[in-house]
Structure formats: structure tokens, C-alpha cells
Amino acid sequence: MLPLELFRYGTRMKVLTFAIGICVAFIVGSFAFANGLNATVQEITGKFEKEGALVYAGDNLTSSLIDESAIAIGSPHISVGIAEALLNGTSYVFFAVKDPANLLGQDLVPSPGEMLAGKDVPVRGYLTITSVEGSVTLFANHTYSSTMFPTYWHLVRWEDIVKLRQALSNRTSFMIFTSMTDSLESSIKAKGLSLQPMPGIFGYFNAGANQVTNDLWLIIIPSSFIVAMLVYSAIAMETKDRAKEIAILKTIGANNGQIARIFMFQAFMLSLLGAIIGIVIGIIISYAISTSSSVVIENSLFYLKVTEYSMLVALVCTILAGMLGAIWPIYRASHQKVREAMT
């Protein structure tokens, strides 16, 4: 048994372990974001993708008006009203949702006197919204999040959207059906309305979610490189500090392979501990963000999802990167001449 500790865990190693953990947490968090986005899109599209359709009039959703009573509305559907209005001198799109059957699985009705801002335009405070047909003053303190609607639209109650666009008192801008029968489709087309199958619409969201997943390697590769550099630095400093100990071991019969295995084990343990710490940090942060999002962003379906696969990828990439980063300093230390080490 060689008289050299297999793993000497001092302050320097602790700091470098934590630094590796931060890199790993970034990898885990990135996977959690991509997994959460995919899960959210799949959860919503699963309700509409097979038979759902969007019905509107004309070529523009913002100008569309539909008389619901003129359509056979026996099938469950969602009504959406849209109005363009000014907020602080800037034109925005405001919308309201009627979903009595809770098809979205999401309460998209703000409290009375409240507006939920789009997450891309997080306005706050008491706001006066004006259009050519009227105005309304609402309080905005939260945002909403939904893959069904653009994130730059603002969500209001139906009675408030009617004040901005009075035609919506007995009409709707467009309708979303979860299923489309032949008779319903014929009735819609007979009224000269446009019908857009939901698979075509949600294909856009799925493509975006898949692109995020494909781009994960653009995050994994640089993060793994940083891990390799951290382990390289740690082992290089460790072998330099213990050069005389290595020389002594060689004088009593230790060969290059035995010396290399000692520091390779140290590189493995450093990478493993960093990976475990990073995975734990990633899980905690993902859980905290998912929990707080329901408070900060009302009615949010989005969450961060850490899977066994993402943890395994983070663990394997970290260990491989650490071992690769340690090769050169270990080789240099194990082949160091005894005379050079003792001087």
C-alpha cells in the first residue's frame, strides 16, 4: 500500500468542487427547462391536437368577430375576445377567455379590477387602457403564462374587454374547439368562417420545443470544457504541491502506473462530488422556480422538470470531462524524474 493519501480534500479542493457543481447545476437546469417546455406543450396540445380546430372570421384574429349563436356550439369550445388598445401611449393586444368547460385546465380569468400582463411586457401598478370605443382602469401586479396565447398579449376579464371593444358583448373574436364533427365543420364553412386545424398551429410550438432540446449540446459542451479545466487546475496544483512525496514513492519502488492511479482516483472523486453537488443544486433551484412561478406568474402551466436522464447525462459528462482534464497533469507527474522533483 502506497503511503500517499488517495484523496486529500483540503480547502482548495472544496472550492473547486463547488465550482464544478455550479457548472453541473447549469446543465441540469438547462435540461429541466427543455423538459418542462416539452411537457407543457405536450400537456396542452394533447387536448387539441387530434381533432381540435380554431375558428375565426376574415384573415386577422385581432379584427375577427363571430356570432356564436349562429354556429352549432354543442361541442365544447373556448371563446376568446381580442381588442387593440393603448397603454401608456403604446398599442397592445388585450384578450379575455371564456372556458366554462375548463378545457385548458387553466383559470384564465383575472380577479375583478385586475389585469394579468404578458410575461414579455411585465407592466405593473394601476393602468388606464384606452381604445376608440372606451377605456378601463385596471391593476396589474402579476403576469400570466400560457403556450396557447402570445406572451406579449395582456389578459383581462370579459366585461373589461367589452368596454374596449363593445362588439364583443354579444360576439367573440375566435373560438377553439377540442373536436370537430362533420356537421359542425359544415355549419362553420357555411357561415363563411375560416377553420384552422390545431395540429398545424401546435406544430410551431412543438418545433420550438424540439429546437430547444436539440440546442442543449451547445450548453453541455462548454460546461463540460469548464469542468475539464477546473479538474486540470486542481490536479496540476495537487501534483505540484506533492512532487517530493511522489519522488519518495518512486525511490521505494512505485512505478508510473501506480502514481497515475492515485491522482486519477482523486480526479474521479473530485468530478463525482462536483456532479452530485451540482445535481442537488439543480434540483433545488428547479423546484424553487417551479414553485414560485405559480405565485409570480398566475395561472402558469410551465414548470421545470428534472428527469433521471438529465441527471445521468450531467453525471456522465462531468466525470468524463474531469478525467480527460486530468490526463495531462497526471501524465506529467507520473513521468517526473526523481532528481527534478527533489530539487
Give per-residue burial for 214-231: e unless 16+ CB within 10 Å, then b: eebeebbeebbebbbebb
Backbone angles phi, psi at 60, to 5 degrees: -130, 125
Q: What is the pLDDT of residue 204?
A: 45
Total residue count of the chain as it appears in this document: 343
Q: In the 8-state DSSP scheme, what is residue 149?
A: S
CA distance 250 to 265: 18
Q: Where are the alpha helices (DSSP H) in the chain?
A: 11-48, 158-164, 182-190, 198-214, 217-241, 243-251, 256-296, 308-334, 338-342
Q: In the 8-state DSSP scheme, what is residue 302?
A: -
Q: What is the pLDDT of residue 31?
A: 82
Smallest CA-to-CA distance from 123 within 132, 134, 114, 135 is with 114
Q: What is the pLDDT of residue 118?
A: 87
Helix pair 308-334, 11-48: axis angle to 10 deg: 150
Give, for all 343 residues of the chain, the pLDDT tens digit: 444 455 567 788 889 899 999 999 988 888 887 777 666 666 655 555 555 678 888 877 778 888 877 665 567 788 999 999 999 889 999 999 998 888 777 778 899 999 999 888 888 999 999 999 999 999 999 888 776 788 889 999 999 999 999 999 888 998 888 777 777 778 788 888 887 766 544 544 555 555 666 667 778 888 899 999 999 999 998 888 888 888 888 788 778 888 888 889 989 999 999 999 999 998 888 877 767 655 554 445 556 778 888 899 899 999 999 999 999 999 988 887 766 656 6
Give per-residue burial for 200-211: e unless 16+ CB within 10 Å, then b: ebbeebeeebee
